[in-house]
Structure 1
Amino acid sequence: MTDTPATRSTSMRCCEPATNTDKDYIIKLVQAPSPEEGWLVECWYGRHGKNLNQSLKTKKPVPYEKAEQVYNKEFVARLSKGYVVEGESNTATVAPPKESCGVFGQLLNPISEAEVEFYMTDPGWIAEEKHDGERNSFTKKGDTVVVGNRRGQVIPGNAQVVTELARHGRDFVIEGEVLPVTNQFIAFDLLELDGRNMRGEPYAIRAAELRQLIALDDVAAKAVGHRISYARAAVHEMAKWALLTEVRAKGGEGLVFKRANALHVAGKNHKDQVKLKLWADCSCVVSGINEKSSVRLEMYDDKGQPVHVGNVTISQNRACPEVGDIVDVQYLYAYRQGSLFQPVFRGVRTDVAREECTTSTLKYYAGPKAGENPAPGA
């Protein structure tokens, strides 16, 4: 037992190439926000080099002796599962949960296919390809990069993307999406540049300066191996339709439309940025692990009761989520009192709360018309 209470942090890794296993695990013993409240044990886990998921091993602050026991027990448990220590220190290496990064994004409001023509024909709107990744902000000052999620909370972030951004010579605050498989960061907004607050400037100006900041188009970025690029955009009507056709043909996520002269407004209380999603997606809670490379999913109804919404397969090249994780699932539609149709696992979400996983967000199958089969493909 430690004589003097002290913050501790241990980084561990389990790497088994034969089974395609490469996982990180960080255990932290930290003081609660108010020192008199006690101590907490936090764990961060996930695929090596990717965004880590957070788990609290102490649900509330406890005395230091109790927290240290929990910390040591978790450490021994990881050793028994094949993890090795990569680093140990007396100071935390990962930001504590719910610490604000100070960056709050301008969230997107959905539109339907029937509304698309207005945004295509109006020259005041810019179309961009929407990617299916985890929305992050990156605040770079000097050699330090702070990563935030869409709720404005500090997270560990993708190590490879952070390393790439840290090499940049300028200071900035940018937003974008980290793609889970390729570890690529697609930037879509520039909020600050070298101390200049750009939130009060038109989006068209922010987008133009973002492209100059990145200084690489998609083709060049892939050619030199960089992980940082920016969202492809179209301004003129013909180019917008062409972009939509291309995204649809490759089974892409959809398009985002942004008013060119709009200022940055945090949250959804605005009409300046909208999204057209070609696939539906939802956030679900993993309720169990199946034997054949799949997990069981549940959501919550309007009374807060859990509802089973089917299973989703986890491909062999992806780390299997754990029970209790919140995962992003893409699907074609949902059956009422049934399951998701054609679900696809997209990744673990660290920026979505359990109470947000509600069945009210689902896109339901409307049912067959007269003379049609009872369900597509039947």
Structure 2
Amino acid sequence: MKTSETEKRLQRYRTKRDFLRTPEPAPEAMASTPADAAIFVVHKHDATRLHYDLRLEIGGVLVSWAIPKGPSLDPAQKRLAVQTEDHPRSYADFEGHIPDDQYGGGDSLLWESGTFDTVPPGQADAQLARGHLEVVLSGQKLQGRWHLIRTRPRGGKAQWLFFKAKDAEARTDYDVTVERPESVKSGQVKTRGPRKPGVLRKKPGTGRAPAKARRPPVKPQELLDRVWPPMLARLAVPDEAHDDTHAYEVKYDGFRAVFALTHDKSAFQSRRGNDLSSRFGRLAASLRALPVSDVVVDGEIIALDDKGRSNFQRLQHTEEGAEQRFVVFDLLWLNGEDLRGLPYEERRARLEKLMASVDLPLQCSERLRLPLSRALVEARRRGWEGIIAKRKDSPYTGTRSGDWLKLKVVAGQEVVILGYLPIKNARAKSEIGALRVGVRGQDGFHDVGKVGTGYSTQDRRELRWLLDATRTKKPAAVDAPTNTDTVWVKPKYVAQVRFTEWTRDGRLRHPVFQGLRSDKRPRDVVREQPAPTEGARATRGVRRAPAQASARTATRRGASSRTSGKAPGKAPGKAPGKAPGKARPTRAKPDAEALLTHGDRVLFPDSGLTKADVFAYYRDVAPRLTPVLADRPLAHQQWPAGIAAPGFFRHELSGIPPWLPTLCVRHEGKSLRHVNVKDTEALLWLANQSALTLHMWLSHAPRLAQPDFVVFDLDPGDNGWKDLVKVARRLHARLDELGLQSFPKTSGKRGLHVLVPLAPGHTYARAMAFATARAAELEEALGDIATTERSIHKRGGRLYLDVGQNVRGKTVVAPYSLRAVEGAPFSAPLDWSEVTARLDPHRFRLKTLRKRLDAVGDLFAPMLRVKQTLPAG
């Protein structure tokens, strides 16, 4: 595109901004366009409302769309995208706070960046003119094919739809904006919008709202709209929470509701925005009596059963006189002050103070001041659905966030009613016999079985009357059974059921009807299962067994257990999901020497090193290695015929003896049994299997969702160790600036690993965001020698800054692990003073281990004792 044409397209961008006041780049600062691939970026922009700005490089500028709800990996979610003014290409690297009084005022984070092309390639200008862009995105969060389709003008702006194509990168069960909220440039997560009249914002850096606030709106609905939508919890597994970082509350089984009060007027509405004031008049009246001038509280409407537990089914029949209560669990606004930016702990303290002076039917949610393991036991004992784990330092955000976790002890599921089976009793023709139900999948509704119990006679009659009005000949489910007596209905109603488990073919086992849910829409009903932690690809579709991101230590009879202190001979553990059966045959743990077989087999031909040499090496290093590997899932590289022959990479090994401790870990769609190296004998058993190289997870059981360290993998380029040392020392200095200790080790081959130990409670998402931000800083400072580009042919001979291991299930080579390279080098822990151009990583070999340990001792051991917290933002 000619310069004059580019300037013309950017005129609108220029006239909207005062470049003496905004940090945004002026058009004159345009960068040259690279020849290889066009770029795309997505900005997370907290302006009037939080939204996402998609920008595609077309014709020398960034053609831009504002997407209010952000991108979705679900092809069924077609997101509105309003075309805005073109931006200069230099805007692709912009991140910062636009002054509040300027156009677009508020924080703008670089949420995503990468390259793109059209399908077919090179058609961006033509497809833009036609109004249908089909692009392939290659970013860190967004990948694969996407569509942008123009629909109609809207208020002078072109209105488009942006949605994911059905390809291998599509995911129906993963909200990328929730799971990956961080900037790809800085790692920052939280944003601040502009301060406007009547809108309260946090003081930067304090996490507290200003002491003086403007008066709240006169109408309570306006106040409710200001703090909308409600924050939602994500279904999770216990190893994603930690006592040091989370607080635990009872999970109630009822209707979610938010209440606002201003000047004796109130608004009371459900999560869907339905008014609840008339249906729950007594509760609304009690809330209006709160001793405040204005307030917004979030909570659950419940009905109690005979044992005083919340019971969703009782809530359906208000005429039966079931005792109703409103359980308040969060305080969003109080006396003119917006509290959403405060940490959970402070909001909770203010809530408890407010609720101390109120009476039933209002109550504060019950907080469990117990360790997580005991809290879950208490939930089972008292018949609750489960507990909610909330991060103590988390603000209140209107999204489904990993800061709130649902930990269930009783399985529950929302289902869409697809039809019913008439009752077989001839005298009860006006009743249903059972409901046929389903959930929404990627390609439509899927049948998940029949629900035949849990109904009263009144329920059966009311459901028959309700459903007969929506009868249809064609079933809504894409996999509806044939040759059935089912009366099909339109997918209009949602029911709540409890059940024991999901079957292997994706059906509910022993479902029990709990009631109808007027607060849920059929299109939002999907199979609820624990979301994968960041980067772990969840099982697609609805015909799979539910993923369980947990692990259990299955310690067989005779295995020593250092962590439990139990003597050998205790009952063996069992894999999750397996019914108890016959005990496996047991035998005593063999002596270490008895584990070695075929010790004379040569594994390293040039140096003549044998399996016996490898066995002796791991026996010597076991006291240093087993504390690192205990309770940590491993993958192994085996060379049974020596390194000159093909090797094998495996997570699960065959022929595991009964005495060997194992970990049963849920992977993508299946469970695998990992050897648990809790003692020397377990390590030597692996050595005898010619498992030369051990790759370890970054987390350990039972907290597999919480990494123990962040890892940076520096893979040398053409300049080898010289550039690596320069990059490594720059990284070390930056980590020191942040107050973080770090520990280097050789990879055992050409590279270097830098590990940053963490305190319990960190998530993989947070670790990845931190690592990504530091890698971006290194690339910006040392871009001539280092890059984050994954493609080897695009690196230009530069060192690769790899942070991809900071994901659940990814591994890093364990310290002291041998590598399948002649001379048998090992991954050697280092002191930072050793990371110089003079260091030769190949000098750390099987035969030099003893000399190395005698000289410096175990340099990795101190890392296991360091517990530190990553800085925020």
TM-score by length of structure 2 reads 0.27
- Partner residue, 2:53: none
Q: How far apart, in 2, do the equivalents of 1:326 and 1:254 lie?
A: 22
Secondary structure of 2:519's aligned partner: coil
1:162 matched to 2:256: no
Deviation at 1:156, TM superposition (A): 2.7
In structure 2, the gaps of 5 or more residues are 1-223, 303-311, 315-322, 424-430, 468-491, 530-541, 547-575, 583-873
Q: How far apart, in 1, do the equivalents of 2:225 and 2:509 lie?
A: 37
Deviation at 1:168, TM superposition (A): 2.3
- Partner residue, 2:349: 208
- Partner residue, 2:409: 278
Secondary structure of 2:333's aligned partner: strand
Q: How far apart, in 2, do the equivalents of 1:244 and 1:313 lie?
A: 27
In structure 1, the gaps of 5 or more residues are 1-98, 373-378
- Partner residue, 1:252: 384
Deviation at 1:245, TM superposition (A): 2.2
- Partner residue, 2:139: none
Deviation at 1:142, TM superposition (A): 3.0
Match of 2:451 among 301, 311, 314: 311
Q: How far apart, in 1, do the equivalents of 2:340 and 2:413 lie?
A: 30
Identical aligned residues as a percent: 23
- Partner residue, 2:301: 178
Deviation at 1:293, TM superposition (A): 6.4
Deviation at 1:358, TM superposition (A): 3.3
Deviation at 1:247, TM superposition (A): 1.3
- Partner residue, 1:20: none
Q: How far apart, in 2, do the equivalents of 1:183 and 1:360 lie?
A: 27
Q: How far apart, in 2, do the equivalents of 1:201 and 1:259 lie?
A: 12
User: Relative to 1, partners in 2 of residues 1:370 and 1:243: Cα closer, same or farther, differing over 3 Å?
Assistant: closer
Secondary structure of 1:205's aligned partner: helix
Deviation at 1:311, TM superposition (A): 1.3
1:198 matched to 2:339: yes
Q: Is the 8 A contact 2:261 2:296 kept in 1?
A: yes
Match of 1:141 among 258, 262, 265: 262
Deviation at 1:169, TM superposition (A): 3.2
Deviation at 1:357, TM superposition (A): 2.4
User: Relative to 1, partners in 2 of residues 1:354 and 1:236: Cα closer, same or farther, differing over 3 Å?
Assistant: closer
Q: How far apart, in 2, do the equivalents of 1:130 and 1:107 lie?
A: 12
- AA paired with 1:156? L
Match of 1:327 among 495, 504, 510: 495
Q: Is the 8 A contact 2:227 2:332 kept in 1?
A: no
- Partner residue, 1:230: 364
Q: How far apart, in 2, do the equivalents of 1:367 and 1:233 lie?
A: 30
Deviation at 1:277, TM superposition (A): 0.9
- Partner residue, 1:94: none
Q: Is the 8 A contact 1:190 1:206 kept in 2?
A: yes
Deviation at 1:306, TM superposition (A): 4.5
Q: How far apart, in 1, do the equivalents of 2:524 and 2:250 lie?
A: 25
Is the deviation greater in 346-355 or in 299-308? 299-308
Q: How far apart, in 1, do the equivalents of 2:402 and 2:441 lie?
A: 29
User: Relative to 1, partners in 2 of residues 1:138 and 1:297: Cα closer, same or farther, differing over 3 Å?
Assistant: farther
- AA paired with 2:237? S
Q: Is the 8 A contact 1:332 1:342 kept in 2?
A: yes
Q: How far apart, in 2, do the equivalents of 1:298 and 1:353 lie?
A: 14
RMSD: 3.2
Q: How far apart, in 1, do the equivalents of 2:457 and 2:324 lie?
A: 14
Q: Is the 8 A contact 1:294 1:312 kept in 2?
A: yes
- Partner residue, 1:10: none
- Partner residue, 2:229: 104
Q: How far apart, in 1, do the equivalents of 2:510 and 2:226 lie?
A: 36
- Partner residue, 2:842: none
Deviation at 1:159, TM superposition (A): 2.4
Q: How far apart, in 2, do the equivalents of 1:204 and 1:351 lie?
A: 29
- Partner residue, 1:76: none
- AA paired with 1:296? L
1:78-93 correspondence runs (5 A)? none
For residues 281-318 of structure 1, give each alpha carbon's deviation from its aligned partner in whole angstroms, at most 9, with x where no partner exists. 22112223743665403214432144252114344397
Q: How far apart, in 1, do the equivalents of 2:297 and 2:289 lie?
A: 15
Deviation at 1:349, TM superposition (A): 1.6
Is the deviation greater in 288-297 or in 129-138? 288-297
Secondary structure of 1:184's aligned partner: strand
Secondary structure of 1:186's aligned partner: strand
The size of the alignment, in residue pairs, is 260
Deviation at 1:370, TM superposition (A): 9.4
Where relative contact order (Cα < 8 A, 6+ residues apart) is larger, the structure is: 1
User: Relative to 1, partners in 2 of residues 1:163 and 1:173: Cα closer, same or farther, differing over 3 Å?
Assistant: same
- AA paired with 1:333? E
TM-score by length of structure 1 reads 0.60
Match of 2:511 among 321, 343, 368: 343
Q: Is the 8 A contact 1:333 1:364 kept in 2?
A: no
User: Relative to 1, partners in 2 of residues 1:317 and 1:107: Cα closer, same or farther, differing over 3 Å?
Assistant: farther
Is the deviation greater in 255-264 or in 332-341? 332-341
Q: How far apart, in 2, do the equivalents of 1:195 and 1:308 lie?
A: 48
Q: Is the 8 A contact 1:103 1:148 kept in 2?
A: no
User: Relative to 1, partners in 2 of residues 1:259 and 1:360: Cα closer, same or farther, differing over 3 Å?
Assistant: closer
For residues 17-73 of structure 1, give each alpha carbon's deviation from its aligned partner in whole angstroms, at most 9, with x where no partner exists. xxxxxxxxxxxxxxxxxxxxxxxxxxxxxxxxxxxxxxxxxxxxxxxxxxxxxxxxx
Q: Is the 8 A contact 2:256 2:301 kept in 1?
A: yes
Secondary structure of 2:297's aligned partner: strand
- AA paired with 2:437? E
- Partner residue, 2:436: 297
Deviation at 1:249, TM superposition (A): 0.8
Q: How far apart, in 2, do the equivalents of 1:349 and 1:172 lie?
A: 27
User: Relative to 1, partners in 2 of residues 1:100 and 1:199: Cα closer, same or farther, differing over 3 Å?
Assistant: closer
Deviation at 1:196, TM superposition (A): 1.2
Q: Is the 8 A contact 1:293 1:314 kept in 2?
A: no
Q: How far apart, in 2, do the equivalents of 1:244 and 1:367 lie?
A: 19
Q: Is the 8 A contact 1:295 1:314 kept in 2?
A: no
User: Relative to 1, partners in 2 of residues 1:303 and 1:210: Cα closer, same or farther, differing over 3 Å?
Assistant: same
Deviation at 1:338, TM superposition (A): 6.5
Q: Is the 8 A contact 1:138 1:174 kept in 2?
A: yes
Secondary structure of 2:285's aligned partner: helix
User: Relative to 1, partners in 2 of residues 1:318 and 1:193: Cα closer, same or farther, differing over 3 Å?
Assistant: farther
Structure number with bigger Rg: 2
Q: How far apart, in 1, do the equivalents of 2:376 and 2:458 lie?
A: 29
For residues 316-373 of structure 1, give each alpha carbon's deviation from its aligned partner in whole angstroms, at most 9, with x where no partner exists. 397544333211212121224474223233332223221122357578479756958x
1:150 matched to 2:271: yes
